[in-house]
Chains A and B, each alone.
Chain A
Amino acid sequence: MSATLQPEADEAASEASSRTGRGPWATAFRKLVQDRAAMICLAALALIVLACAAAPVYARYVSRTDPFASNVDGSFTLGGQSVQVMQPDQGGLGLGVTPVGPTWSAPYFLGADSQGRDVMARLLYGGRNSLFISSLSTLICLTVAAIVGIVAGFFGGITDAVLSRLLDILWAFPIYLLAISLSIVLISRGLTIGPITISSDSLALPIGIIGIVYVPYVARPVRGLVLSLKQSEFVLAAIGLGVPNRRILVRDILPNVLTTLIVFAPLMMALNMLTESALSFLSIGVQPPAASWGTIIQDGQTLIYTRPLVAIAPGVAIALTVLVLNVFGDGVRDALDPRAKLRFRA
């Protein structure tokens, strides 16, 4: 199972020193900018995002192949010679066909996959989906977790008890079961909830699943933070002065929670990217012919002995992106809240 974030068991929130105002944010920003490793990683991340965003350009002007249509009977010219994309086996009994290997030039830079599609172009397109899914699911996860954590922590009592048990259930729930079932439900009819209709090949499915399953990992520390903030002197004082709840939430609690969420964001995104790849690898994530790095690994698995690069390349892409996100996330944490304790769980 992929690594998953989990709050520290003691959930002790860092002392909520930063109040609203420009001061602490500006300090943190300056600190982050001065962190060389974080900045290099940010640049690398930007590069990866740009490259993936340019996928259509690559497919159209460089590889000149359709990365979503199978090209089993096709051929292309390489060094003046016509080369078949799927090459029948020559020696022996002549069983099987093997996709063309890496040409290290424009079409089929990394070779073709089992359907004769350009792996490089698919890698870029896959990156778009992987990045899109992991960032959007991070957004969902953080939003839901913030709401649940704040409500549970601030209101306490029965609300807290109910929400905490729900988080417990979600925590121990096997995400693969949820993913497999939902993907079958959505096969032909899509999902209709009120006015929203999700079609079967929509990316909303993996985004939703990944966004929801990790809510406890963020909601719990948020709840802990809110609990400790509630007992902090300035909140107690505000309550004593009769400041309305809404105002306390907005003025005192939210800014602090936001800091925690920002610290979580890059690390959650790294985690979500790993989860997305695992789900797609088990063919319950992104649906063909769309690609994600996980689905390309899955495609490449059937070629692992003859064309290992098809599976290796997306794996390297995932590892690189996750690495960059982790280093950047560390930088953000150091800048904003050096004592925040986040950790992974398997």
Chain B
Amino acid sequence: MRMRSLAMLAAGALAFGAAAAPRAQAAAAHTGGTLKLVSVASEGTIDPQINYTSMYWQVFFVTYDGLVGFEKTSGPDSNTIVADLATEIPKPQDAGKTYVFTLRRGIKFSNGKTVTPDDVVASFRRLFKVSNPNAGTWYNVIVGADACLKTPATCTLSGGVVADDKANTVTFHLTAPDAEFMDKLAVPFGTILPADTAAKDLGTTPAPTTGPYMISQYDPNRIMKLVRNPYFKQWSAQAQPAGYVDEIDFNYGLSDEAAVTAVENGQADWMFNQPPTDRLGELGTKYAKQIYIRPLFAFYYAAMNANLAPFNNLKVRQAVNFATDRRATVNLYGGPRLAQPTCQILPPGFPGYEPYCPWTKNPGKTWTAPDLAKAKALMQQSGVAPGTKVTLIVIDRAADRAIGGYLQSMLNSLGFAASLKAISPNIQFTYIQNTKNQVQISLTDWYQDYPAPSDFLNVLFSCANFHPGSDSSINISGFCDKGIDAHMQKALSTAVADPEAALGMWAKIDQQVTDQAPVAPLFAPKHLDFVSTRLGNYTWSDQFHMIFSKVWVQ
């Protein structure tokens, strides 16, 4: 009880704009304890420059720092980029082709060494040496990146990233202006590691950190243990606040059912996985106070192969979109509280989002009901013979199988002879990308990397991201429209000087892509966090979700 009253006091004090004293007192009272997290499985390497999973990005968020970073707070501000290891966000020079960062002095790694400009240069070289997933797609804009992509072992980025020890600055030179360069530095790939970090995948060996915590133990089958970084001193409460808990234990291997039970019984504080749908009712009634539901910048969609019959026919793709009952898919995902039906590519609330829905009865801004009559008429016009075989490929997960089952029924109602195949979560995503596998239609999802419309539209639907015959061809539909591609290039370059105007352009592109129906968007999912009774100060970042350093357990 005392704890709670203190928290109330703190809140009250804040409201009256009082000084920091009671706040510090409250913070001190809440400091300590162990935050216990659970997940069904671990997610691979803990090399922050390689791992590309939202689960570990959430961990890296409170352990590592880049030159800049997303503000650690809740609400819309969590999408704002603030200076982190750098003293401030530099103004673009040379028409957006040069940025000069000044490093803060005195920040130390968890091994006691000071962060220097050389570390920054080495970290960006390392991105290429360890084959960072986006080395060739994001960081290729840095001068010298071409050579690094060709022969990573001898990567220098000379002329691209330049250190000045005396001035304590690092200068970046780009081959072309890039409106999203700050975003690319703010995600965990932009982490600054000590210059002597091995230039290979660290695997299960943690690298020294700069944030309030460091990884002390990692066993992918059991546990990741985070302890306080002894050299951490808070330099910016916005960029990297000190944490409340003393230790974070992330345990792996509990099934999602068992994880729900563990949180219910207070044996764990938070579960990474979404609770299984059959437990939602129980959670909503008995544990309503321990539940936080937040929208995600993501969407679930059925990707249709625009280069393979029958979905190479625009009318067929439109028919699928008209016939899809998005409410049914929402219900299978967990009900209307956990997902929002959508017809377009950009998720609600995302930069550039303007509500748009042509695939509904009474087309307009929002989806209301499927229009089966229109869908069937379109099928007739398409000339596709009834009984055409299609195979839908989904991930072998309960919700995906269920949604897949619905989509199969829907396709059958359009006259197809649809079959459904569920394959292992780890394989499905690369399987459906490779044109060699001749996938006609698949169910998949996309979560943002950083808050920019191009991260959905350009990544998923540009000609450049379609690589026939490769397992890595993120434009799963194989959609390539020269006109739309040109519009996207224009929007990208406009964003450097005039971000506002660019957003308007993206909204238009969103509609254009939606009209071409390379995919059938289903819904934008929401995230449900189920936490223990003792977990307080729940803070949700739109970017990296619950912030482990902001919550307390006592």
Contacts and interface: CB of A to CB of B under 8 A. Distances in A.
B496 interface: no
A187 B278 contact: no
A256 interface: no
Interface stretch (A149-157, A266-274, A302-310, A325-333): A302-310
Interface residues of A, number: 37
B242 to A, nearest CB: 33
A140 interface: no
A301 B421 CA distance: 19
A91 B284 CA distance: 7
Contact of B335 (A88, A114, A189): A88
Nearest to A91: B285
A95 B420 contact: no
Given A91-B284, A92-B286, A188-B393, A72 B278 contact: no
B359 to A, nearest CB: 17
B276 A97 contact: no
A93 B288 contact: yes
A94 B335 contact: yes
Interface residues of B, number: 50
Contacts of B285: 89, 91-93
Contact of B402 (A95, A96, A114): A114
A114 B397 CA distance: 13
Interface string A49-89: 00000000000000000001110110000000000001011
Contacts of B276: 302
A302 B284 CA distance: 17
A98 interface: yes
A306 B401 contact: no
Interface in B329-344: 331-332, 334-338
Contacts of B277: 96-97, 114, 302
Interface string B259-289: 0000000000000000011111111111010
Contacts of B327: 73
Interface in B272-316: 276-286, 288, 291, 293
A88 B391 CA distance: 30
Most buried by A among B288, B334, B402: B402
B406 A288 contact: no
Contacts of A69: 409, 412
B527 to A, nearest CB: 13
A311 B518 CA distance: 38
Contacts of A40: none
A18 interface: no
Given A93-B337, A95-B528, A114 B284 contact: no
A73 B410 CA distance: 12
Contacts of A4: none
A187 B544 CA distance: 35
A73 B328 contact: yes
B335 A302 contact: no
Interface in A163-186: 180, 183-184
B176 interface: no
A188 B402 contact: no
B247 interface: no
A14 interface: no
B378 interface: no
A241 B405 CA distance: 67
A102 B289 CA distance: 31
Given A114-B402, A187-B391, A287-B420, A96 B325 contact: no
Interface in B376-398: 391, 393, 396, 398
11 contacts: A89-B284, A91-B281, A94-B335, A97-B277, A183-B423, A184-B423, A200-B421, A288-B401, A288-B404, A288-B405, A305-B257
